[in-house]
Amino acid sequence: MAETGVTDATDILDATLTLHGEFGDARTLELRRCLQPWSDPATGSNWNSNPTGAPTWRDHAHPNGRWNSNGANALGGTGGTLSDYNGIWDLAAQIDATTPVTAVNRAVTISGSGVTDAYRFWFDNPTVDYGHGIRMAVGATQELKFSGWETALHDRGPVLAVTYGEPVTATDWTLYR
């Protein structure tokens, strides 16, 4: 964000996440703040056979960084305070957004005040910006896979769009009579 000139979290006006489905069960998604650190393996791809440092069902950072509950199922806190992070919870109990996926072959956009608030919080606290965890809502019986950035022509990967207002300074205004 430094390149934008944004210096205050209140300058963030909106945040949306757009995902493209690849296969699975079209159901409602929940977006929750991730409270444990994770990253993709350096080799990329979702089918990495040795995902050192990557998230798995058991680990937030394979092989030694275990989730508190398999599948990141230890829910607690809101993700809105520093004490929620790096402790006993995997994902926030508070849901930042729910979005129905009506068809797997269409893009889905997830947004709302909770999503925007998350990026404002992470702007002020970048050391705990672990992003969001996406969970299927209760009742889903099949998995849902989204395209990654490395898929095909790199045109169906996830897109985070952050809308911000530029800071206003006294030299930005010119008065005319």
Per-residue pLDDT, 169: 62
More confident residue, 148 or 107: 107
At residue 2, the 3 state secondary structure works out as: helix
Beta-carbon contacts of residue 72 (< 8 Å; ≥ 6 apart): 34, 36, 55, 60, 90, 91, 133
Per-residue pLDDT, 136: 85
Q: Classify residue 31 as exposed, middle or buried by CB count within 10 Å of its CB (0-12, 13-18, 19+).
A: buried
DSSP 6-29: --SGGGEEEEEEEEEEEEE---EE
pLDDT digits (tens, 9 = 90+) for 21-38: 888 878 889 999 999 998
pLDDT digits (tens, 9 = 90+) for 50-62: 677 788 889 888 8
Per-residue pLDDT, 173: 55
Per-residue pLDDT, 36: 97
pLDDT digits (tens, 9 = 90+) for 86-99: 999 999 999 999 99
Per-residue pLDDT, 145: 79
Q: Classify residue 126 as exposed, middle or buried by CB count within 10 Å of its CB (0-12, 13-18, 19+).
A: exposed
Radius of gyration of the chain (CA): 18
Peptide bond into 63 cis (omega under 30): yes
pLDDT bin (cut points 50, 70, 90) of residue 105 is confident
Which structure tokens are listed for 133?
A: 């965890």
Cα end-to-end span (Å), the chain:
36
Which structure tokens are listed for 65?
A: 């960084």
pLDDT bin (cut points 50, 70, 90) of residue 112 is very high
